[in-house]
Structure 1
């Protein structure tokens, strides 16, 4: 009897083991789970060692750049305001860690006094396409690199338009890759869109103020469409986008009320006075200047 029980127990063990083996083989043949899932190297996001942690994209204003300029050592206009931002950042960080890239584009504004220049619309679109190509190429090779965007005047419009597309889901890189955006004298500045920095201003960007007068201003600025506000604002980037505007700057602090269209358009073309002294104007941001604020802000984002 004892031998019979022993044989029966052995048979039960064999049956259980055989059933388990059959189930394992069945799952293996069907591609089913056979144990804890393993992390595939193909699903891990990596990038080459030469990729920078952060790329700072700098967009100069009208007449401060050229299509053939060197994005790492721009010399098209030695007095370009944005050099007061790009150079301190290049000096503060090694190039392999922080890439500082200055947008090379035609940067012109055809107007009644400069009929041979590229129209504003074409110049702006060229700038947008060039900057987006740079971001697209870097993102393709370096998917973990983050970006900081900053621009002045026409460059602020370019950087702001790109931020608008990224923030609303139609840009060339995901919104989570943008650490921040700083726009100085943005011609499409809209109150309560983005974060305002500095002393209060009561006006709006020239493109918004002059939109109802677009046809009337064309004799002064042919090929410069006054497009109004950015649809969707900055979307997901709203809390990371900062607008800097000097009080009474006709480019970003234009009066809301419709007045003399030709006079307002002429002010936009001349863009002198307040618009030309952001590097030294102490009344834009208390206790600092616009460029100094952007440099320290960018360092804070890079160092985090």
Structure 2
């Protein structure tokens, strides 16, 4: 009888050890002496980043009459004089494609007015550009969850990028805010003093959409289908410290006067390609001793150079976790 009890006790002890070992392996995820990811061991956890994904995607949104929905986002040619080409081309030359993907927003960048009644309205053009940009963000993030984004836009493109950044910063945008390394808005028509970070020489006015918000009926006489929406509700949320506003003094798109004035004359100014608005690539009065082009290239390059490169596991296809954007 004693032998039987002894055998039963040994069986019970061995069984308890086996169960404990099984729970240890499954709870802790590792067996002593075995590294994660080794055959027989658990795989590392976290999102998967295919090896073809770029570390950073730079998105550029051109201004009115600088883009087309059929343009090639990787090699845009619709308007060879597009301001942002002075920025994106040097970036493409500087970085390999697996480090930086440069994508230029293709959209119908038009602005129907009394001089161009055949064109798409500003509202329709802006909505199309916004939808196309958000779709690109969602697709890239879905395929490459560890890729970070840097976004910049000029004029109408700045309004589009600013609107998208506002939604992302408030938590209901196309991608998580932690995946956005920075935003630069050049001549933003919804620029509001104190919202975002001012870069370059200071200006005293506001964006045209804020300046003309209360004058929408008069604006429609000159630019039908161009709704002046005022400031962005909620600003840029958590992206406020990563969003930079650049505006040339006396550029009536981003440095317009407040208060009621000659609404028709001010609305007409929206469709005129004045010298200040057209010279960001060379204007020395925005960044003393430099240009907006040079500032953008330096700013974007700094963000890219500080961006971590997701580490690809050699065989498992699983990446290590990447620190959040600072």
1:18 aligns with 2:20: no
In the other structure, the counterpart of 1:197 is 199
CA deviations on 1:194-226 (whole Å, 9 max, x unpaired) are 000011100100001110111221010100000
Q: Which has the higher helix share?
A: 1
Taking structure 1 as the reference length, what is the TM-score of the superposition? Answer: 0.91
Aligned length: 295
CA deviations on 1:136-180 (whole Å, 9 max, x unpaired) are 111111111000000100000011111011101111111010010
1:238-253 equivalent positions in 2, closer than 5 A: 238-253=240-255
State the shift of 1:112 in Å: 1.0
1:11-160 equivalent positions in 2, closer than 5 A: 15=9, 18=12, 21-22=15-16, 25=19, 36-38=27-29, 41=43, 43-160=45-162
1:277 aligns with 2:305: no
State the shift of 1:44 in Å: 2.1
- Please, which of 276, 279, 298 is the counterpart of residue 296 of structure 1? 298
1:199-218 equivalent positions in 2, closer than 5 A: 199-218=201-220
Q: Report the Cα distance in structure 1 between the residues aligned to 2:105 and 2:127, rounded to whole angstroms.
A: 12
In the other structure, the counterpart of 1:287 is 289
State the shift of 1:18 in Å: 1.4
> Which ranges in structure 1 are unaligned for 5 or more consecutive residues?
1-6
Contact 1:251 1:271 in 2 (8 A): no
Instruction: Return the index of the structure with the highest Cα Rg.
Output: 1
Please list every run of at least 4 consecutive aligned residues from structure 1 whose deviation after the TM superposition is greater than 4 angstroms.
10-14, 22-28, 32-36
In the other structure, the counterpart of 2:309 is none
Contact 1:250 1:271 in 2 (8 A): no
Q: Report the Cα distance in structure 1 between the residues aligned to 2:247 and 2:53, rounded to whole angstroms.
A: 34
Contact 1:203 1:252 in 2 (8 A): yes
Q: Which has the higher contact order (CA 8 A, sep 6+)?
A: 2
In the other structure, the counterpart of 2:182 is 180
Q: Report the Cα distance in structure 1 between the residues aligned to 2:274 and 2:69, rounded to whole angstroms.
A: 24
Q: Which moved more, 1:42-51 or 1:221-230?
A: 42-51
In the other structure, the counterpart of 2:320 is none
State the shift of 1:46 in Å: 1.9
Report the CA distance shift for 1:54/1:112 in structure 2 as closer, same or farther (over 3 A): same
State the shift of 1:258 in Å: 1.4
Contact 1:24 1:34 in 2 (8 A): no
State the shift of 1:37 in Å: 2.1
Report the CA distance shift for 1:12/1:229 in structure 2 as closer, same or farther (over 3 A): farther
CA deviations on 1:244-300 (whole Å, 9 max, x unpaired) are 000111000000121111111011111412111111110011111111101100000
Taking structure 2 as the reference length, what is the TM-score of the superposition? Answer: 0.85
Report the CA distance shift for 1:289/1:34 in structure 2 as closer, same or farther (over 3 A): closer
In the other structure, the counterpart of 1:237 is 239
State the shift of 1:26 in Å: 9.7
Q: CA RMSD in A?
A: 2.3
Contact 1:245 1:284 in 2 (8 A): yes
